[in-house]
Structure 1
Amino acid sequence: MNKNNNTVFPGTSWQGKVVITAMKTLVKPVVNRLRFSRRFMKFSQLGFDTVTLALPVHSDVHISPALVGGVPGEWLIAGRGVRSNRVVLYFHGGAYFFGSPRSHRAVTWRMSQHCKAKVLALDYRQPPDWAYPAPIDDAVRAYKALLELGYDPDHIVFAGDSAGGNLTLVTMLRLRDLGLPLPSCAVLISPWADLTCTGESIVSNANHDPLIPMDALRFVSGSYSREHDPASPLISPVYADYTGLPPILVQVGSTEVLLSDAERVAEQAEKAGVPCELQVWENMPHVFHALASWIPEAGRALQEIGAFVHDHLSQRDDDSHVRAHARVVRGRQ
């Protein structure tokens, strides 16, 4: 029986068309000319954080530093409707060489709002200073620490975008193999799930994707996998067996070079009998959720994430509704 549900969402807003045109004409040509190196990777980490801090964060959002299981990050609470027993463990994207909890606040605070949950955004180790399996080790340590702090796995959600979507999947695979309880469900936004870069859309969408250049993907794949086989299931989870994983929601843009990665994740879930909903958003760029202040489709996608999370959290959640305040996350744990 096919437990999966694949849906196409139209991308018709004028705001989306304007943003995509601007990305194609202004951003991608610049990115295509960049020469990737270790020095550039270090510089881009700082530069990306600086640029993305311009994305608005609502004044009602409380942000505080975190140290969970020895892994740094930050807690985010968006408003008074957040339940203190719910946690979204979020893994930021950035192709495993840039990005941070700070750079992804435009996504994470909205995740807190729509999922009515605290968000723990991890600042996991990345190249060029670190490589596989350092991010997975950090993710496992942080999750085990959440369990030790008393959080019920039925009230924990894993989520991530791009490389963070990859990390979401491989962390669940590692936890399963360790015999640890798994989170209630997982959300993957434009997941980069094949570091061999062999998906069909890598070619078919190469000229349609308004953001991602292929040379960059191949370079950072090598910097992350290094001496390991990039086709390893814990590096490229499109080659993994998903048996025993919790329900998964996958969202991706139809013109992304990573469209095939998302489709293959859904196929692997179906083979393993894992409930998986694949949502393809027409003409939307990579991780368009970060542009929710401008693109209506991004806001709707985040609403879909919230609905998915509410559907899959334990019914016991209703009996333990405790409103979260800023004091819940003040300081370091």
Structure 2
Amino acid sequence: MSIQVVIANLVLRWQFKSKGRGPIDVPKVRHMITKAAKRYPAPPAEIKHTPVAAKGASGLCAAEWLSVDNPQRTVLYFHGGGYFFCGLDTHRPVCAYLAKSAKARVLSVDYRMAPENIFPAAVDDAVAWWKELLSQGISPKSVVFAGDSAGGGLALACLVAARDQGLPMPAGALLFSPWTDLSCSGETMKTLADADVMFNPESLPQAATFYLAGQSATHPLASPLFADLKGLPPLMIHASRHEILLSDSTRLHERALQQGLQSEIHLKAKMPHVWPTMVMLPEGRQSLKESSQFITRVTTGA
């Protein structure tokens, strides 16, 4: 474990977990995360950054492209943040890194968030962008869905919804510590409550309440862990052995294999939640390189 991870774990435990006890103050959390994102470096010079405005008439939310010259594949990325915070600016570094390492163009989607927009608004936005990419003539075999935490769950829900609507499947899905169970029934919600450096177990049910607004926490498009996964493309899952959402990843991997999917899971000890999105960490960059190899592998020959 690198010294950078040791420091990150200490900072997260002090600044995020300790201050996150009690009722969630949505504006406060958003302000804190937005302020932190302003310190992030701009994308590398070789990465072209192109904002895309929302198009209400066609049902498309805002998004942005991060692309290398002559991209060979496309990544459709959904940011995490419990369905109520984070956005394009917070995830620009990881999307830029994926674009560079996978020789890709990455579309980062600014889907509508709770509590202002409840389920299934985020899923509708995700599927709308998938339909848009297909309408542009992009081969689904050249596309990989990706996301972290809530965005990982959203990427999986988008696959399920798209399949049910008869849309083609992309070549694969890359999931970083995906939140796949909004009922929060995984055993590690309790067993790893102390070990997790980022989350208090009581915070996730609160976030789920914002998003669900009284709807079922086991609805397959809200909690795709409970969905029929048959017909979905290969999955690559990353999760920490010391995060409360570990069970969301391990159970997903097991269910995927049981239902005939190709799935691989990469577990690392002592890592914070969604560490691959933290490009300042050596372990994060290594996981992103492995992820880019997966993206390249499943889209080769598209």
TM range, smaller chain: over 0.9
1:13 aligns with 2:32: no
Contact 2:43 2:93 in 1 (8 A): no
**Alpha-carbon distance in structure 2 between the residues aligned to 1:174 and 1:31:** 33
1:50 aligns with 2:35: yes
Residue identity (%): 34
1:290 aligns with 2:280: no
Question: Which of these two proteins has the greater Rg computed from alpha carbons?
Answer: 1
Shift of 1:43: 4.1
Shift of 1:131: 0.6
**Alpha-carbon distance in structure 2 between the residues aligned to 1:229 and 1:50:** 34
The residue number in structure 1 matching 2:205 is: 218
The residue number in structure 2 matching 1:263 is: 250
Contact 2:16 2:199 in 1 (8 A): no
The residue number in structure 1 matching 2:76 is: 89
Shift of 1:282: 1.2
Contact 2:236 2:264 in 1 (8 A): yes
The residue number in structure 1 matching 2:227 is: 240
Contact 2:12 2:197 in 1 (8 A): yes
Task: Describe the SS at the equivalent of 2:255.
Answer: helix
Return the match for 1:29 from 18, 25, 28: 18
Shift of 1:46: 3.9
Shift of 1:304: 0.5
The residue number in structure 2 matching 1:252 is: 239
Shift of 1:14: 2.2
The residue number in structure 2 matching 1:65 is: 51
1:312 aligns with 2:298: yes
Task: Describe the SS at the equivalent of 2:62.
Answer: strand
| Worse-matched range after superposition: 21-30 or 252-261 | 21-30
Q: Deviations over 1:246-282 (max 9, x none)?
A: 0000001111100000001101111111000100011
Task: Describe the SS at the equivalent of 1:164.
Answer: helix
**Alpha-carbon distance in structure 2 between the residues aligned to 1:197 and 1:188:** 18
**Alpha-carbon distance in structure 2 between the residues aligned to 1:242 and 1:35:** 34
Shift of 1:96: 0.5
1:109 aligns with 2:96: yes
Q: Where does structure 1 differ by over 6 angstroms across 4 or more consecutive aligned residues?
A: none
Q: Deviations over 1:179-199 (max 9, x none)?
A: 110111000001011101110
**Alpha-carbon distance in structure 2 between the residues aligned to 1:301 and 1:283:** 14
Q: Deviations over 1:126-183 (max 9, x none)?
A: 1111010001111111110111111110111100000000100011000111111011
**Alpha-carbon distance in structure 2 between the residues aligned to 1:59 and 1:187:** 23
1:139 aligns with 2:104: no
**Alpha-carbon distance in structure 1 between the residues aligned to 2:83 and 2:278:** 21
Mark the runs of 5 or more structure 1 residues left unpaired by the alignment: 1-11, 317-333
Contact 1:42 1:128 in 2 (8 A): no
Contact 1:57 1:109 in 2 (8 A): no
Q: CA RMSD in A?
A: 1.5
Shift of 1:59: 3.1
**Alpha-carbon distance in structure 2 between the residues aligned to 1:274 and 1:49:** 37
Task: Describe the SS at the equivalent of 1:71.
Answer: coil
What does 1:142-157 align with in structure 2 at a 5 Å threshold?
Answer: 142-157=129-144
Distance 1:101 1:58, change over 3 A: closer
Q: Which amino acid aligns with 2:8?
A: V
Distance 1:187 1:64, change over 3 A: same
Q: Which amino acid aligns with 1:164?
A: G
Mark the runs of 5 or more structure 2 residues left unpaired by the alignment: none
**Alpha-carbon distance in structure 2 between the residues aligned to 1:299 and 1:284:** 13
**Greater RCO, 1 or 2 (C-alpha within 8 Å, sep 6+):** 1
**Alpha-carbon distance in structure 2 between the residues aligned to 1:120 and 1:167:** 15
Return the match for 1:172 from 159, 169, 174: 159
Q: Which amino acid aligns with 2:5?
A: G
Q: Which amino acid aligns with 1:122?
A: V
Aligned length: 297
